[in-house]
Amino acid sequence: MKIKDFWHVNPLIFISTIIVQLLVPALSLLTVQVGIYQVDAIQQVNLPKFLKLTALNFVLLAVSYIVEYLFDYLLAKQKERYKLILRGKIIKRLCYTKQEYSIAQIQNFLTNDLIQSEENYLDAFMSLIGGLGYVVSALILLFSIHWTMLVVISLMVIISLLLPKLTEKPLQKAIMAISDNNKKYLDTISKWLTGIEELQRYFSGSHLFAVLSKSSRKLERANVKEAGIKQCLKVVNEIAAQFMLLVLYAVTGYLIVSKQIAFGVISVVSDLKYYLSSGIEWITEARGAMAGASSLNRQIENLASPIVKPEESNSDLEEVDEIVTDNLQIAFPNGESIQLPNIKVKPGQKILLTGESGVGKSTLLKILAGELRPSSGRVIYRGKKGTLTHPDLSKIGYLPQDAILFPVSINDNITMFDDRIAPLVPTLVKDMQLQQDVDKQKLSLQTIIDLNKLNISGGQRQKIVLARALIHQSKIILIDEGTSAIDAQATIKVLQKIMKTNASVVFIAHNLNQEMKKLFDYELRLVKSNNKIKKLILSA
């Protein structure tokens, strides 16, 4: 988060919040000034003057409260708008770049990290402005009372402003630790709660609680550590404030005795101390929090930064005449690595990719789709004249093992919100053997898919994503177990439709019978030998 960007969201509201944040301290210190005159009026036994000053004080306090509530409203409005813009930029970057983040990490980016940055940077900045307002207003009032008090307090302010340096680095580490542990906690929740039904089936809930409790304790410790560091800074500030009060009373007493200031000043010394110490405390804590949030802000800034488009323009998939893999190797986090065989995919070819689990079939498809970067080697896209091309890989029709659907209508899940191709949906629904399933739904194609209650079966999910791939008429379609949940009779008809397209198709499957296999140009079977994968080309 940046103050400059926060300003650009709405300059008028930003300036208004700054003015209001400075006006509240000014009004508060003005009531202190009036309080001096009230005590003097009592000493002079001047009741009418005292009542007038009391009424004035009431008005000043009322205006101060109204202005403060107005500030809170304007600030909240500005912050929410700014976070909305940041979330949009982060989501855009996550959508259009190939950086891989887990669901838990993305949730953390969009929620906890922004909240942490808001509390420790934006809120701290406004506290800094408010603190400056109180300090400046108090110093002006002190100067109007007597310059000696101003000099003494100014020295104390300078000392207090240096205090955040004591906790700056520890607080920075603590804030990042909260972010990291929150990511891990969300990741743990994501991984374990996806299998909640299995845990319930085998009465393993106690283990779930133990795992979540262990993960949450780390997050709790990180929050406690951050709170501890902030409390240390508060203790130091309080000690400085008490010392300041002692000096202030001593100086005030001397000046009253020597008749250099009015007697009424003694009654507001504690108020002056409160506002001045509060202002100093706000400034020091705000500076410490803002410094501590710098690492997190840099992370958010990187995530929200504009996407730099490559200089070379992407060519159309139609220009690709041949796809060749060249010595692809992939290394896994557990230290294992596999060498994938070199393959060629010609325009319009229909290839059945088979092999035992773990031989790299899904990995190969992810690399071809641009979803995964190989540790070494490359994928070559050649044009019709043999020249290298750089196609837009986002146009490839890639269907992963887990069918990805959205909580919108069946129609929108197929068209992906492109109304121009909506007229083609009914035909594709029939071709994908989805018509009977759709007819059973009350709202037909406008039925909203419920991802929580799963109002459609696994086979229906696969039919929908297959229809999605075909309706967008991609020239390259990569399908990973796309018919595993569809019955054999429907699978034959679905495959026949896919084979009639002009697209190049690489299809991973385990359970196809011989009749289904004959629909493909050939079967490419991957066989693992040590850490190297060999290919066997079988006639379909």
The answer to the question of residue 17 being in a domain is no
Q: Which residues, including other chains, have CB under 8 Å from residue 180's CB and lie 6 or more apart? A: 222
Q: Which long-range contacts (CB under 8 A, 24 or more apart) does 29-33 make?
A: 29/134, 29/137, 29/138, 29/140, 29/141, 29/275, 30/60, 31/57, 31/60, 31/61, 31/64, 32/141, 32/268, 32/271, 32/272, 32/275, 33/141, 33/144
Number of domains in the chain: 2
Q: Are residues 468 and 381 in the same domain?
A: yes
Which CATH number covers residue 500? 3.40.50.300
The answer to the question of residue 63 being in a domain is no
End residue of a domain, out of 281, 303, 325: 303
Q: Which amino acid makes up residue 2?
A: K
Q: Are residues 404 and 426 in the same domain?
A: yes
Q: Are residues 287 and 325 in the same domain?
A: no
Which CATH number covers residue 130? 1.20.1560.10
The answer to the question of residue 207 being in a domain is yes
Model confidence pTM above 0.75? no
Residue count (the chain)? 540
What pLDDT score was predicted for residue 313? Answer: 45
Q: Are residues 218 and 343 in the same domain?
A: no
Q: Are residues 453 and 523 in the same domain?
A: yes
Q: Are residues 130 and 240 in the same domain?
A: yes
Q: What is the pLDDT of residues 497-508, one digit of tens each?
A: 989 888 888 998
The answer to the question of residue 155 being in a domain is yes
Assigned token pair, 528: 């693992």
Q: Are residues 282 and 392 in the same domain?
A: no
Q: Are residues 348 and 373 in the same domain?
A: yes
Q: Are residues 258 and 365 in the same domain?
A: no
The answer to the question of residue 115 being in a domain is yes
End residue of a domain, out of 269, 303, 337: 303
Assigned token pair, 409: 């209508």
Q: Is residue 511 within a helix (H) or strand (E), and if so which, with residue range?
A: none
CB atoms within 10 A of CB 98: 10
Question: Residues 374, 328: contact at Cβ < 8 Å?
Answer: yes
Q: Are residues 248 and 396 in the same domain?
A: no
Q: Are residues 360 and 324 in the same domain?
A: yes
Question: Residues 121, 175: contact at Cβ < 8 Å?
Answer: no
Low-confidence ranges of the chain (pLDDT < 70): 1, 96-102, 153-154, 156-168, 171-172, 190-191, 193-205, 241, 266-268, 270, 307-321, 386, 530-540
The answer to the question of residue 421 being in a domain is yes
Q: Which of 488, 494, 498 is nearest to 433 (CA)?
A: 494
The answer to the question of residue 215 being in a domain is yes
The answer to the question of residue 28 being in a domain is no
Q: Are residues 434 and 291 in the same domain?
A: no
Q: What is the pLDDT of residues 16-69, one digit of tens each?
A: 888 887 888 888 888 877 777 777 777 777 888 888 888 888 888 888 788 778
Range of the domain at 390: 317-539
End residue of a domain, out of 303, 337, 366: 303
What pLDDT score was predicted for residue 165? Answer: 66
The answer to whether the Cα torsion of 393, 395, 401, 402 is positive or negative is: positive
HEC-encoded secondary structure of 308-376? CCCCCCCECHHHEEEEEEEEEEEECCCCCEEECCCCEECCCCEEEEEECCCCCHHHHHHHHCCCCCCCE
Q: Which of 398, 359, 364, 421 is nearest to 482 (CA)?
A: 398
HEC-encoded secondary structure of 34-83? HHHHHHHHHHCCCHHHHHHHHHHHHHHHHHHHHHHHHHHHHHHHHHHHHH
